[in-house]
Structure 1
Amino acid sequence: MNLALWIAAGLLAVVALAGGISKTFVPWERLRKIRGGEWVGHFSVGFVKTLGVLEILAAVGLILPAVLDVAPDVVPVTATCWVLLMVGAMITHLRHGSPRFMVLNLIYLALAAFVAWGRFGPEPFTA
């Protein structure tokens, strides 16, 4: 179970890092033209960049606290926050006609819920 939780957290961290870097550093106009990125046109540049920074922080919060054994309880809290972020992403993709991306967000939501459940419940980092 511990290995499965690490794998799930690692996958989510990669997804969060990739999404965060693109939202933070790729120009807003370019993001808007990418398939699945049409939603960006409905939000300000600042909002999109803020989401990007939050995703980068989520990537860090899913892995580093446990690896460094510094406040490892941050991992399930971060996973719970990721669940909430994915709910928002699903609503956004639904509103802007991208159901395919909703399914992807649902998968990420399920992985984050698994990590939150596992680290709050049967496999916490602290005894």
Structure 2
Amino acid sequence: MNIAYWIVAGLLALFYLYAGTLKVTRSRDQLRPMMAWVDRIPLPALRALGTVEVLGATGLILPPLTGIAPPLALAAAGGFVLLQAGAIAVHLTGEDRRIALNLGLTTTAAVTIWLATRL
């Protein structure tokens, strides 16, 4: 289970580290081709969302790696499930109704929670 956790959590952390960094560093114009919904939320909220994603990615990796506060990994994965529930709602209420990636990320975060409880 330990190897499975690191594979799943590592991939999830890489995705959120990448996506969060983009949201923090790029302009709306640069994000729009990848994320059609960026015009629907204020820029400070977009930056905050990116920061939450980067911190969550860190929370998936550092606590189990260092042995300091390992339950934070569960909290980070649970936060990603909630984040994706909100993302699905944003997609479904707007013009962009593509939610396959969001469902995949929700499932991956849920599997990460399950694996983290087995460590």
Specify if TM > 0.5: yes
Task: Supply the AA of the counterpart residue of 2:11.
Answer: L
Match in the other structure for 2:7:
7
Is the 2:63–2:70 Cα contact (8 Å) retained in structure 1?
Answer: yes
1:99 counterpart SS class: coil
- Corresponding residue of 1:99: 97
1:74-114 Cα offsets, whole Å, 9 max, x none, are: 111110010000111111112223333x1111111111111
Q: Is the 8 A contact 1:66 1:75 kept in 2?
A: yes
SS where residue 78 of structure 2 aligns?
Answer: helix
Q: Percent identity?
A: 37
Matches of 1:107 and 1:54, distance apart in 2 = 19
Which 4+ runs in 1 deviate beyond 6 A? none
Q: Is the 8 A contact 1:39 1:93 kept in 2?
A: yes
Q: Structure 2, unaligned stretches of length 5 or more?
A: none
Instruction: Say which of 103, 108, 121 aligns to 2:105.
Output: 108
Query: Structure 1: any 5+ residue segments left out of the alignment?
Result: none
CA distance in 1, matches of 2:15, 2:93: 22
Q: Could you tell me which amino acid in structure 2 is paired with residue 114 of structure 1?
A: V
Q: What per-residue deviation string (whole Å, max 9, x for no partner) do you get for residues 1-44 of structure 1?
A: 22112111001101110110000000123213x14x12110111
User: Does the residue aligned with 2:106 lie in a helix, a strand or coil?
Assistant: helix
CA contact (8 A) 1:38 1:96 kept: no
Report if the CA contact (8 A) 1:12-1:111 is conserved: yes
RMSD: 1.2
Taking structure 1 as the reference length, what is the TM-score of the superposition?
Answer: 0.87
The counterpart of 2:62, out of the listed 64, 86, 89, is 64
Q: Name the count of aligned residue pairs.
A: 119
